């Protein structure tokens, strides 16, 4: 009798293993038909028992896709939290998971979980040690730490995007980029003089798309970080707000920009990196701080 029970247990373990292999081979989901094909050597009732055990154990999840019911392997981090974790850890995990890639502050976790500070701090340290969650400094919240799932990439509102380096705003880099974009728009506007097809056509060719500006800045290689078209649109929009450019939309919703004469004139020094340089008082013809050795000045001259 004991030998029969042992053989039955081994068979169930093998069936569970086969079903997990199916789940891993189809991460986007698998159907009852797939299960029947994989476990064709056992009847429907036994297959249902195997599926139910994996569901209860948290290895797979059931979800609807259109009008069909499908199974999918559970995220490894969720399986990890389900095993060997108490209810308090699961509650904290679910709160952090709900926050997504924008994260959640420890005070809000404490409020939602109703845990005392000592217990919550211990749970967060345990989850971080298991690499289930991580803490990220938020530039939007006074550099306070927010918590999110370990595998998530923080939202731009948390990191500050391309304009922040080590949580510090790169004002000089933004100013140089702003000036390079404006010079490019002015250069494109100068093409109007060569147009012989009338004033409307001349005006139209003076517009450039944000992707064209992005390609120009990329070719200049003035940025150490990869910039997106959206990043350049943020810079171009500041030119619009400053009255130095105008923006229109094409029929296919492409953003087009064109340099215009600013409503107010501004000193030429402000347009160069020297206007915002924190060490400009020490700049001279000789020594370590000179225009010839200035990285930002050379970038500005190349724009």
CATH of the domain at 143: 1.10.10.10
User: At 159, which helix (H) or strand (E)?
Assistant: helix 156-159
Segments in the chain below pLDDT 70: 1-12, 58, 64, 66-67, 74-86, 140-143, 157, 160-161, 163, 165-168, 192-202, 262-272, 275-276, 300-303
Cα separation of 296 and 222, whole Å?
9
Summarised one tens digit per residue, pLDDT across range 174-194 is 888 888 899 998 888 877 666
Q: Which of 74, 104, 124 is the last residue of a domain?
A: 74
Q: Which of 159, 174, 209 is the last residue of a domain?
A: 159
Q: What is the pLDDT of residue 17?
A: 85
Which DSSP string do the residues of 178-199 spell out, in sequence order? HHHHHHHHHHHHGGGGG--S-H
143 three-class SS: coil
Q: 169: which residues sit within 8 A by CB, 6+ positions away?
A: 139, 160, 163
Q: How many domains does the chain have?
A: 3
If 0-12 CB within 10 Å is exposed, 13-18 middle and 19+ buried, where does residue 202 land? middle
Q: What is the pLDDT of residue 267?
A: 55
Domain shared by 136 and 199, yes or no: no
Q: What is the pLDDT of residue 7?
A: 43
Q: Which of 159, 179, 213 is the last residue of a domain?
A: 159
Cα-Cα-Cα-Cα dihedral sign, residues 187, 190, 196, 201 = positive
Summarised one tens digit per residue, pLDDT across range 118-156 is 888 898 998 888 888 888 887 766 667 889 888 787 777
Domain shared by 27 and 96, yes or no: no
Task: Quote the pTM value.
Answer: 0.46
Domain shared by 63 and 119, yes or no: no
What residue numbers bound the domain in which 116 lies? 79-159
Domain shared by 227 and 298, yes or no: yes
């Amino acid at each position: 009798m004991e030998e029969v029970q042992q053989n039955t247990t081994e068979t169930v373990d093998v069936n569970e293993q086969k079903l997990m292999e199916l789940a891993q081979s189809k991460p986007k989901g698998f159907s009852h038909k797939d299960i029947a094909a994989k476990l064709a050597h056992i009847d429907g009732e036994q297959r249902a028992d195997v599926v139910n055990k994996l569901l209860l154990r948290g290895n797979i999840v059931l979800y609807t896709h259109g009008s069909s019911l499908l199974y999918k392997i559970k995220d490894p981090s969720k399986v990890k939290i389900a095993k060997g974790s108490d209810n308090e850890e699961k509650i904290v995990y679910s709160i952090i998971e709900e926050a997504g890639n924008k994260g959640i502050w420890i005070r809000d976790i404490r409020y939602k979980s109703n845990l005392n500070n000592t217990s919550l701090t211990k749970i967060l340290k345990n989850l971080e040690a298991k690499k289930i969650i991580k803490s990220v400094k938020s530039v939007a919240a006074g550099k306070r730490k927010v918590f999110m799932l370990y595998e998530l990439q923080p939202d731009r509102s948390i990191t500050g995007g391309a304009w922040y380096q080590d949580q510090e705003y790169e004002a000089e880099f933004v100013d140089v980029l702003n000036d390079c974009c404006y010079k490019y728009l002015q250069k494109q506007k100068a093409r109007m003089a060569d147009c012989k097809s009338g004033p409307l056509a001349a005006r139209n060719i003076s517009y450039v798309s944000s992707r064209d500006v992005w390609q120009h800045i990329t070719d200049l290689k003035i940025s150490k970080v990869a910039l997106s078209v959206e990043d350049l649109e943020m810079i171009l929009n500041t030119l619009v707000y400053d009255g130095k450019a105008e923006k229109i939309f094409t029929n296919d919703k492409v953003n087009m920009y064109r340099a215009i004469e600013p409503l107010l004139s501004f000193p030429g020094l402000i347009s160069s990196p020297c206007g915002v340089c924190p060490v400009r008082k020490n700049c001279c013809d000789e020594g370590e701080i000179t225009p010839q050795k200035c990285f930002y000045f050379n970038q500005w001259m190349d724009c």
